[in-house]
Structures are given as structure tokens and as C-alpha cells.
């Protein structure tokens, strides 16, 4: 029944979404951080401070500029977090205000501009097509009625912590790949197949989505702003596939840790969180 109602709704509102239709959605992210760290070099207070620091690191704000078929998703600003504990350095791979994600739902592809240690990369690949299940459950987000959709995919939870000391000892805690349930809330009142991050493929804009660890929630929407927004596909950077970029990122992180260890940069722990 929900599928029929959505199709009727889309037909009625089709005339509203002409070629010049645009919108700006603002999202805030939160990630659950539950890291099991058994390390004698970190006392209870330091571990607690690290947990809080990591939690704040993942509280970010993004904007999604979109039209009927395209979008640009980028970080607006980083919410202020606590200062790191002495001797602790945190690196979150794949994040930063200079990174841009362009999606084209009509063509089923994306381009992600990533700055990896001063070098620009253009990740060009196909958008992941999730097998969404449309549910009858609804809730209100802001002024919009949203419908629930769920999907499953294989992935890893945030458990890969890498700890290195100045004598180059390393501790690695990596989880195995597991099936993750994704829950999204989309509104047919804005019938564009788009959403935050790499999420898309539903008959309406995704206003909230979570995978159990990370939750992304829309806090503001402006439709057809007076000032026309530009949605430009990134063009500068070395072109790679998603798999190629993952391999490059891993290699760069290894090289960075090696350089820091050789020159004794920092007296305590250095932690890299894989994004």
C-alpha cells in the first residue's frame, strides 16, 4: 500500500520538480564510539578522555546541495571538540572540509574529491545500489512526514584502532566484516532520489539514516533558495577507483606512522581511525 501511495504522490508533485528545482539540506552526524582498549600504557582517565575526544571528532555538520538528479555533499564545519590528551594524536582518514562528494543519481555514479596529505584524488565509481525495503512506518522530521526504509549490506564496524609508540610497537584491533542493517527515513514530499553521504535510491530525500554506529540527521532544509546554487562535479585530482584509493590511503597511513616513529614525534600514543 505504501508503494502505491508514494507513486501517486510523486505523480501529483512531478510538475514541481522542473529542471531548475534546487534545495539545500543541512545534516549533523553522530557516531557511537565503544572502543575496547586493553592497554597498560593508558590509565582509566586517559581512556575516558580519548573516548570523549573520538566522540566529538565524529560530530560534524554537512550541507547537501541538490537538484532533481545531482548533488554536492561537503563538510560545513567541524563542531568544537575537547583538546587531545598530551601524547595522543588522532587521525581520521577520509574526512576534512576540503573534501567534496558529487552524486549523479540519473547516471548512477559519484565523484569524490579527497585530500590525502596534500595530494588531491578524484575517486570515480558507481553508486552502491542498496536493496531497500519500503516500510509502512512513518514519523515526522521537522515539517516533513518521513517513511521508513531498511537495507542490509556487508561492512565493518568502527573497531580498527592502531596504536603506535615511539619504539614502533603496534597494537591492532580489527573486526571482521559483518552484515549491517541500515535504517533510513525519507520524505516523498521532496521526491528526489538523494541523501547524505553515499546514500540514495529512495523515492524521496533521505532526512535521517543510521547503521547502528553512525547516525545522520537533517536539521534544516531550504527549497529553491533565492540565490541559485551551483552543483559542479569536481575535476581536479588524480583519478582512481574506490578500491585503488583505499589501498593508497592505507599505504600513506603506514608511511606516516613510520616517519613519526623514526623521528620520535610525540611522547605517547598515536592513534589512527580508519574512516
* Contact status, residue 170 vs residue 181, Cβ threshold 8 Å: no
State the pLDDT at residue 213.
Answer: 85
Q: Quick check: 6 pLDDT over 70?
A: no
pLDDT per residue as tens digits for the range 66-119: 999 999 999 986 555 445 544 555 555 555 667 999 999 999 999 999 988 778
Burial label for 58, CB within 10 Å (0-12, 13-18, 19+), is: buried
State the pLDDT at residue 155.
Answer: 76
State the pLDDT at residue 32.
Answer: 76
Q: From residue 105, give the alpha-carbon distance in Å to each of 15, 36, 67, 102, 108.
A: 19, 39, 10, 10, 5
pLDDT per residue as tens digits for the range 242-254: 999 988 888 877 7
Where does the chain have alpha helices with state H? 2-12, 44-57, 242-263
In the structure, what pLDDT confidence band is assigned to residue 262 with cuts at 50, 70 and 90?
A: low
pTM as predicted: 0.77
Altogether, the residues listed in the chain come to a count of 275
Amino acid at each position: 500500500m505504501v508503494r502505491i501511495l508514494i507513486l501517486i504522490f510523486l505523480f501529483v508533485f512531478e510538475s514541481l520538480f522542473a529542471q531548475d528545482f534546487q534545495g539545500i539540506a543541512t545534516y549533523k552526524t553522530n557516531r557511537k564510539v565503544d572502543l575496547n582498549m586493553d592497554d597498560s600504557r593508558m590509565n582509566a582517565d586517559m581512556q575516558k578522555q580519548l573516548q570523549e575526544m573520538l566522540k566529538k571528532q565524529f560530530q560534524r555538520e554537512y550541507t547537501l546541495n541538490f537538484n532533481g538528479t545531482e548533488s554536492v555533499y561537503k563538510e560545513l564545519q567541524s563542531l568544537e571538540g575537547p583538546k587531545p590528551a598530551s601524547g595522543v594524536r588522532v587521525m581520521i582518514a577520509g574526512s576534512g572540509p576540503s573534501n567534496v562528494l558529487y552524486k549523479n543519481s540519473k547516471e548512477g555514479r559519484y565523484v569524490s574529491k579527497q585530500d590525502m596529505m596534500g595530494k588531491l584524488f578524484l575517486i570515480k565509481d558507481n553508486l552502491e545500489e542498496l536493496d531497500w525495503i519500503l516500510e509502512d512506518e512513518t514519523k515526522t522530521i521537522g515539517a516533513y512526514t518521513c517513511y521508513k526504509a531498511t537495507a542490509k549490506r556487508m561492512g565493518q564496524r568502527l573497531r580498527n584502532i592502531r596504536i603506535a609508540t615511539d619504539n614502533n610497537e603496534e597494537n591492532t584491533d580489527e573486526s571482521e566484516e559483518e552484515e549491517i542493517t541500515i535504517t533510513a527515513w525519507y520524505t516523498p514530499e521532496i521526491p528526489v532520489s538523494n541523501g547524505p553521504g553515499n546514500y540514495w535510491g529512495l523515492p524521496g530525500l533521505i532526512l535521517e539514516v543510521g547503521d547502528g554506529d553512525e547516525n545522520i540527521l537533517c536539521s534544516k532544509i531550504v527549497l529553491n533558495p533565492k540565490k541559485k546554487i551551483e552543483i559542479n562535479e569536481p575535476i581536479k585530482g588524480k583519478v582512481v577507483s574506490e578500491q585503488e584509493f583505499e589501498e593508497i590511503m592505507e599505504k600513506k597511513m603506514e608511511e606516516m606512522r613510520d616517519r613519526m616513529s623514526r623521528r620520535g614525534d610525540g611522547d605517547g600514543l598515536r592513534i589512527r581511525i580508519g574512516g
